[in-house]
Amino acid sequence: MRKLALVTLFLALAATAFAGTPKSIYDFTLRTIDGDHTALSSYQGKVVLLVNVASRCGFTPQYAALEALYEKYKDKGLVIVGVPANNFMSQEPGTDAEIKTFCTGKYNVTFPIMSKLSVKGDDITPLYQFLTSKDTNPKFGGDIQWNFTKFLFDRSGAPIARFEPATKPDSPEVITAIEAALGK
């Protein structure tokens, strides 16, 4: 039994070593709020705005602007992906079911929402390790400071902008960046 465990561990480490360093968000899979797995590569060819969200934050009303952006630009190729995280003062304490009920009930959210994960700390999810590392994301890396940090990706999955929480989704700089990315 111990030999089998060692062989399994070796194979897992070898697979990781040969998998290579992620090159874009398309190299990651997340669990949806409904429990299904979704490869971010399913958004290939789209412009993606990835936002770590929370239900009990001063920035929570940004859900309304995010939904308005999604409605306005989804047919032109924009996907907004909400990623609930409870890393900041426990402002996202609910279960996935509670988060979904909140988002759809209070803000009529129709854009994809993922399962709650960690965006910083010892349990940071691999996607956010990739996004915040200066090695893999030298231009936009750096720790997530609070809820509603926004990363914008071009149609090839490369990061093209980062907006901190105080920058509203419907601010001129976000709109300009989205429209430029959609125009390419």
What is the spatial distance between Cα 82 and Cα 64, in angstroms, rounded to a whole number? 12
The yes-or-no answer on residue 57 being catalytic is yes
Rounded to 5 degrees, φ, ψ at 169 are -60, -25
What is the spatial distance between Cα 148 and Cα 58, in angstroms, rounded to a whole number? 10
Nearest partner of 151 among 169, 126, 170, judged by Cα? 169
Catalytic residue among 38, 44, 57, 133: 57
CA R_g for the chain: 17
What is the spatial distance between Cα 19 and Cα 76, in angstroms, rounded to a whole number? 33
Nearest partner of 62 among 148, 151, 161, 157, judged by Cα? 148
Q: Where are the alpha helices (DSSP H) in 26-120?
A: 62-73, 96-107
For residue 128, the tally of other CB atoms under 10 A from its CB is 24
The two beta strands, 78-84 and 47-53, are: parallel
Positions marked active-site:
57
